Structure 1
Amino acid sequence: MPELPEVEALAALLAERAVGREIARVHPVAVSVLKTYDPPLTALEGRALTAVRRRGKFLDLTAGGPHLVVHLARAGWLRWKEGLPQAPPRPGRGPLALRLRLAGPEGYGFDLTEAGTRKGLAVYCVHDPEQVPGVARLGPDPLDPDFTLDGFAGLLHGARHRIKGLLRDQSVLAGIGNAYSDEILHAARMSPYRIAADLTEEETAALYEAMGTVLRDAVERSRGLAAEELKAEKRGGMRVHGRAGQPCPVCGDTVREVSFQDSAFQYCPTCQTGGRPLADRRMSRLLK
């Protein structure tokens, strides 16, 4: 799933290549992708794209008045294109979900695609991004200069949730998902199962520092990359996420995994849990 650094890079790519250009056509190809009807997508056509910004894991494209807001979900992606045909794409069973073509003979624009059968890619055409429920409930952005250690400590105060889940909760912090929460907790040398409210001042400060460092480093590594290179960069930059069975790059211990019904997280026992492996409920069920 694209998270804060990848969406930030996509926003920068569109800001560089598309802002200032007129939107010629917007073609929704997959029936399920469009979540709004007023204003229609045609309200974007003939308008210049004036700004692109990231809101958590959402892309917000402004065209004068209307906004095109995109959430890529688990398997969605944005593919910058040159030489798009004038003719609208035909609906089919392929991954193409929406095409936006900019005006001009170059055929510049982008496709939104989604792999797999579980469809979560969502597109909204709205007058105000706050009309998108997922945007309206976003918590503070962890890379906002105004997001301080005191503000972070306030979010943890009284939160009887495991820190792994709290970092992923978009209403608490905007933009962090499964992968980067694994990386942040590893950098902070903290168990994913720690209760947020139980962290000491020193642990809270270490987690805040790790969060900023991991995310800023990932954003910097992604800067200037083409859209098709971002996924490989994300995978290559991970220390524990997606690396179960491999040695931890810090201590050499074997990276372990805990699996759930539709997701899994990875961690290093030596760095994060005092050498104690966490129970994997999937394996526990198999042993019964």
Structure 2
Amino acid sequence: MPELPEVEALALDLRGRLDGRAITAVHVAAFSALKTYDPPLSALSGTLVDDVTRHGKFLDIETSGLHVILHLARAGWVRWRDEVPKLPPKPSNKSPLAVRVVLDDDSGLDITEAGTKKSLALYVVRAPLEVPGIATLGPDPLTEDFTIEMLASILAQQGGKQIKGVLRHQGTIAGIGNAYSDEILHAARMSPFKPSSSLDEDDLATLHAAIRDTLGAAVDRSRGLAASELKGEKKSHLAVHAQTGKPCPVCGDTVREVSFADSSLQYCATCQTGGKPLADRRMSKLLK
């Protein structure tokens, strides 16, 4: 799933490609992806792209007063095409293509989604806050006002909730998903099951630094990369996420996994849990 660093890099890449360009048409190949009807897609024809930004994990293409908002969900991606086909795409359950954006020189963007679980979302709105997921976002962890005090306040409100679930809840902190929450907790040497209310001042300072440093470093590495290079860059720098069975790059212990109904987490027992393996609560509702 694209998370804050990848969406930030996508926004930067697309800002350079789309600045001042005109949108000729937007074709929807997967009708389940389109979440709005007013303004209609036809309102985008002839508009000029003014900016490309992000809100948490949402990508925002601002065009002549309208906003094309994309949430790439678990398996979505944006692919640049120097030339798009002349004919609009046909709806198909077998094709990963969900949306095609055609520009004034016949180049464009293909927004794709792999797999059978279709969660990618496209919104056309007049203001970003019209998108429910953006309206309820928590603070961005890379802004200057995301201080240790703010983090302390957030965690205090979560009570005994486990820190892994709190970090990846978008209404609590924006932009952190399954992968970077694993990486942050490994950097902080903290158990994913640690209750939020149990962190002392030293823990808070350590976790705050891990959030800022882990995400900041990923953004720095991704900056300037084309969209086609971002997935590989992310995978090549993961310490524990999706590394089950491999040696921890810090201590050499084997990276372990806890599985849930529709996801999993990875961690190093030596670095994070005092050497004690965590129970594999396969049917836990922690991350739902």
- TM-score between both structures, scaled by the size of structure 1: 0.96
> The residue matched to 1:139 in structure 2 has which SS?
coil
1:96 paired residue number = 97
Displacement of 1:215 in angstroms is 0.3
Displacement of 1:281 in angstroms is 2.4
1:52 paired residue number = 52
> The residue matched to 2:158 in structure 1 has which SS?
coil
Amino acid at match of 1:94: S
Q: Which deviates more, 174-183 or 79-88? A: 79-88
2:260 paired residue number = 260
Q: Deviations over 1:55-102 (max 9, x none)?
A: 000001111211100000011110011011332122223111100011
Residue pairs, 1:148-187, within 5 angstroms: 148-160=147-159, 161-187=161-187
1:147 paired residue number = 146
Residue 15 of structure 2 corresponds to residue 11 of structure 1: no
Residue pairs, 1:34-113, within 5 angstroms: 34-92=34-92, 93-104=94-105, 107-113=106-112
List structure 1 runs of 4+ shifted beyond 4 angstroms: none
Q: Distance in 2 between matches of 1:281 and 1:200?
A: 27
Q: Distance in 2 between matches of 1:51 and 1:76?
A: 21
Displacement of 1:263 in angstroms is 0.3
2:32 paired residue number = 32
Amino acid at match of 2:63: A
Instruction: Indicate conservation of the 8 Å contact 2:162/2:193, yes or no.
Output: yes
Structure 2, unaligned runs of 5 or more: none
Displacement of 1:229 in angstroms is 1.4
Q: Distance in 2 between matches of 1:216 and 1:257?
A: 25
Q: Distance in 1 between matches of 2:196 and 2:3?
A: 22
1:222 paired residue number = 222
Displacement of 1:283 in angstroms is 10
Amino-acid identity (%): 59
2:272 paired residue number = 272
Q: Deviations over 1:215-266 (max 9, x none)?
A: 0111111111121211111111100000111111101111110000110000
Amino acid at match of 2:140: D
Instruction: Indicate conservation of the 8 Å contact 1:168/1:181, yes or no.
Output: yes
- TM-score between both structures, scaled by the size of structure 2: 0.96
Instruction: Indicate conservation of the 8 Å contact 2:260/2:283, yes or no.
Output: no
Instruction: Indicate conservation of the 8 Å contact 1:18/1:109, yes or no.
Output: no
Q: Distance in 2 between matches of 1:90 and 1:119?
A: 17
> The residue matched to 2:21 in structure 1 has which SS?
coil
Instruction: Indicate conservation of the 8 Å contact 2:261/2:283, yes or no.
Output: no
> The residue matched to 2:16 in structure 1 has which SS?
helix
Amino acid at match of 1:111: D
Residue pairs, 1:186-201, within 5 angstroms: 186-201=186-201
Q: Distance in 2 between matches of 1:175 and 1:43?
A: 29
Instruction: Indicate conservation of the 8 Å contact 1:25/1:102, yes or no.
Output: yes
Q: Deviations over 1:31-66 (max 9, x none)?
A: 111000000011111010001101000001111211
Amino acid at match of 1:150: E
Q: Which deviates more, 151-160 or 11-20? A: 151-160
Instruction: Indicate conservation of the 8 Å contact 2:50/2:62, yes or no.
Output: yes
Q: Distance in 2 between matches of 1:282 and 1:24?
A: 48
Change (3 A) 1:247 1:82: same
**Alignment RMSD (CA, Å):** 1.3
> The residue matched to 1:215 in structure 2 has which SS?
helix
> The residue matched to 2:203 in structure 1 has which SS?
helix
Instruction: Indicate conservation of the 8 Å contact 2:2/2:72, yes or no.
Output: yes
2:113 paired residue number = 114
Q: Distance in 2 between matches of 1:153 and 1:219?
A: 24
1:207 paired residue number = 207
